[in-house]
Structure 1
Amino acid sequence: MLLATQVYFLAEARDPDTGALVYTEDDLRAQSSLLIIAGSDTTGTAFSGFFFYITRDAERYDNVVEEIRTTFRSLDDITYGPILQSCTYLKACVDEAMRLVPAGASELPREILAGGLQIKDEFYPAGTVVGAAPWTNSHDTNVYGDIDAFRPERWILDESRGVTKQDIARVRAGFHPFLSGPTSCVGKNLAMTEILITLARTLYQLDVRRAPGSIVGGGGLTDPNKMCIADGYISMRQGLEVQFRKMRFGA
């Protein structure tokens, strides 16, 4: 029995005029690889970035764990919905991790359409290939200031701490982990749901720490406190190594 999967529909797609199959076997292999990378490797990078930075910061680790364990009454309560969306600190930690460790460091190329396009002071004629690199956008000192710091509070409106609506609008204006516009990631809502549920369920029932003595997955060339990734169109990474233990409620 054939399952009605996305690959099945690609394999069975036919030209409406000729009835011929649209995709060759090589096309299907390429599309399958893309789907696997887009659906798993990108969220894997988000998880790695989150745990890398949260396990290096005891105060912020305690903050996000406390939010999760006081918001939900049981593991089964952690599902998609308004309660999960109310976990502002968890979401801020995820955003900050994706800022510091984007799933794709390089730009995704776009071709200028007929008529050309004016971008600030430069005019680009039709056919020009342009792009904006997520790594560059998320490490702009004019926007984020302390670009290398893991500071989730920058994403949370709190005027008592000096974070205003204008500050939130500024940091979000250039932050597009799933791209933006009509070509943005079609699965972005599913991906964010997967990330939030997985992290909330993990930290609800498990304590986590960096594996003692491990240096896998960390240590930039100049700063050991930065997660090191390599640009291979998607972000290539090693590790990291962490240890989990079952949380003892009431302990």
Structure 2
Amino acid sequence: MAYTTYILIGLLPLVYYLLPYIVDAKKLRRFNAPFPAAFSDFWLFWQARKGVRHFAVHDMHKKYGKFVRIQPEHISVADPAAIPIVYGHGTGFLKSDYYDAFVSIQRGLFNTRDRAEHTRKRKTISHVFSTKSVLQFEPYIHHNLELLAKQFNKMSDSPDLSGSYHKLDILHWTNYLAFDIISDLTFGSPFGMLESGKDQAFVKDPATGKVTTAPAIQVLNRRGEVSGTLGCAPWVKQFAKYLPDKFFTEGVKAVEDLAGIAIARVSDRLDHGIGNEREDLLKKLMDGRDEHGKPLGRKETEAEALTMLIAGSDTTSNTLCSLMYWVLRTPGVLESLQKELDEALQGDWSVPNYAAIKDCKYLRAVINETLRIHSTSSLGLPRVVPPKGYTVCGEFFEGGTVLSVPSYTIHHSDEIWGDASAFRPERWFNLTELQKKSFIPFSVGPRACVGQNVAELEMITIVATMFSGWDWKFAEGEKQGLPGAPLDTVEGFLRKPLGLNVGIKRRRA
């Protein structure tokens, strides 16, 4: 009897995974899948844990074609025709339970899955990121760029490479800059990373009120990695801190620390009035009202402030580091970019104003080409097919099926871009309609990135500053400077470079 019981217990996992596959309630068995993705979430979970999800999914599309089953009820669709259906207005697709792994303080604009709640939040918050509001933030960006310029000049005055260049890891400094800017814009003052040259921020424990310090950049990286992995199997989140893998235990701690950073800075404003006179993101967030005239509650304000911190920090730093890599690697790009900037910024150099460089076409092309080829947001954002089902790219999907369109694969399709592996800014001067529709660095539709205007202002001003004021080259011995060598990256929720050693020197005295 006991022997039979053990056999039955041993068969339970087999039945649990095989029965849904055999029954095939959503008729997904017709799609190819890497083993064991058709039976279990483990395949995608493991790719995310390794930090290579977008590469793995891309390889499967090269092997199997347009449709790939990457989880038992999740189909990746590598076709730009799917973009307006899966992410567009009026189709009824909702965010999947993947986003549950990103909830910490409470649900915010990014991770709320309820359509009515998202509409309320977006109406309350959208005014914060209007073009008029965003232009008011330029002085804060300008101030932090001046701090960066002082650091760059200081390093340039102490050359340690041939040709009078100074060696630095540009990722460190793009991180310091991006985090200080978003802290300044959101919370009323920068973290102080640019001045100290250190990764440090204050953290407040919501339970005890105790304030400590934590490395914000490191915390954000870990949070993205663990949340991006747990999103592939959200039920694991409640057990994550007990798992023997420190990837999860440290990641859960990072989620708490990151929330603590936002709580500490919002507390400075709400409880102590620090920075109340400033017209910044937090001020506009606090002034926002929904259609009933109600402001955001405290927890909701903290959650949205946290979202702004996350969305506006390593997205920018990752892109800047990658842009540096591709500009230096690709013959002629640095010279063309600097020539255009010199013509726009005639006279003595200083941190440029947005008005002076906003019409620089090659500058914008370099940024867009970086957003395409690096694809900071590389994974396919998962959406749930509405109850009545939907036909996508000729295939009907039952309600409840999860679909996603992989950004990395779309941005690296030779059918769309011709020479997708080449960094060629000139392509942006004559885009086809298909290419325009296939460029999705900020997603599209009602759940597209609400902070796109801020990102554009930041990127244009930062890139213009960095390349008009200094000359750059790959540091001697930097393997990533060799022809054909890739930029080493790891993927959490975003695709992040692991570092890039370059040389810097002043272009002007």
Q: What TM-score comes out, normalization by structure 2 length?
A: 0.40
Match of 2:420 among 147, 150, 155: 147
Match of 1:37 among 282, 288, 310: 310
The one-letter amino acid of 1:47's match is: L
Does structure 1 residue 66 correspond to structure 2 residue 339?
yes
1:35-84 Cα deviation digits (max 9, x unpaired): 33311100111101110011112411100110011112254583223x42
Does structure 1 residue 234 correspond to structure 2 residue 468?
no
Alignment of 1:85-234 (within 5 A): 85-157=358-430, 167-215=431-479, 218=480, 224-234=484-494
Does structure 1 residue 51 correspond to structure 2 residue 329?
no
The one-letter amino acid of 2:452's match is: K
The one-letter amino acid of 1:80's match is: Y
The separation in 1 between residues aligned to 2:481 and 2:389, in whole angstroms, is: 43
The separation in 2 between residues aligned to 1:50 and 1:150, in whole angstroms, is: 10
Equivalent pair of 1:105/1:133 in contact (CA under 8 Å): yes
Equivalent pair of 1:144/1:171 in contact (CA under 8 Å): yes
Equivalent pair of 1:219/1:228 in contact (CA under 8 Å): no
SS in 2 for 1:49: helix
- Cα pair distance change 1:236/1:242, threshold 3 Å: same
Shift of 1:207: 1.1
The separation in 1 between residues aligned to 2:320 and 2:309, in whole angstroms, is: 16
Shift of 1:154: 0.9
The one-letter amino acid of 2:406's match is: A
Equivalent pair of 1:154/1:168 in contact (CA under 8 Å): no
The one-letter amino acid of 1:241's match is: N
The separation in 1 between residues aligned to 2:486 and 2:361, in whole angstroms, is: 24
Match of 2:352 among 68, 78, 81: 78
Structure 2 residue ranges without an equivalent (≥5): 1-271
Structure showing greater radius of gyration is 2
The one-letter amino acid of 1:231's match is: E
The separation in 2 between residues aligned to 1:36 and 1:7, in whole angstroms, is: 15
Shift of 1:226: 2.7
Shift of 1:32: 5.6
Equivalent pair of 1:107/1:132 in contact (CA under 8 Å): yes
The separation in 1 between residues aligned to 2:439 and 2:312, in whole angstroms, is: 20
- Cα pair distance change 1:138/1:119, threshold 3 Å: same
> CA RMSD for the aligned pairs?
3.2
Equivalent pair of 1:49/1:100 in contact (CA under 8 Å): no
1:124-178 Cα deviation digits (max 9, x unpaired): 2332221111101101110112221111111113xxxxxxxxx432322101111
The separation in 1 between residues aligned to 2:453 and 2:285, in whole angstroms, is: 22
- Between the two proteins, the alignment pairs up a number of residues equal to 228
The separation in 1 between residues aligned to 2:358 and 2:434, in whole angstroms, is: 22
The separation in 2 between residues aligned to 1:117 and 1:76, in whole angstroms, is: 54
Aligned to 1:161: none
Aligned residues with identical type, % of pairs:
26
- Cα pair distance change 1:219/1:78, threshold 3 Å: closer
The one-letter amino acid of 2:461's match is: I
Q: What TM-score comes out, normalization by structure 1 length?
A: 0.78
Which structure has more helix as a fraction of its residues?
A: 2
The one-letter amino acid of 1:65's match is: Q
SS in 1 for 2:405: coil
The separation in 1 between residues aligned to 2:338 and 2:357, in whole angstroms, is: 13
Aligned to 1:160: none
Structure 1 residue ranges without an equivalent (≥5): 158-166
Alignment of 1:2-41 (within 5 A): 2=273, 3=275, 6=282, 23=299, 34-41=307-314
- Cα pair distance change 1:7/1:79, threshold 3 Å: closer
- Cα pair distance change 1:72/1:51, threshold 3 Å: same
- Cα pair distance change 1:187/1:9, threshold 3 Å: closer
The one-letter amino acid of 1:57's match is: T
SS in 2 for 1:197: helix
Equivalent pair of 2:322/2:497 in contact (CA under 8 Å): no
The separation in 1 between residues aligned to 2:298 and 2:335, in whole angstroms, is: 53
Equivalent pair of 1:100/1:138 in contact (CA under 8 Å): yes
User: Which one is further off, 53-62 or 226-235?
Assistant: 226-235
Shift of 1:248: 2.7
The separation in 1 between residues aligned to 2:332 and 2:365, in whole angstroms, is: 15
Equivalent pair of 1:64/1:89 in contact (CA under 8 Å): yes
The separation in 2 between residues aligned to 1:185 and 1:214, in whole angstroms, is: 34
Equivalent pair of 2:471/2:507 in contact (CA under 8 Å): yes
Aligned to 2:16: none
Shift of 1:225: 3.1
After TM superposition, where is structure 1 displaced by more than 3 Å over at least 4 residues in a row? 2-10, 21-24, 30-35, 74-77
SS in 1 for 2:317: helix
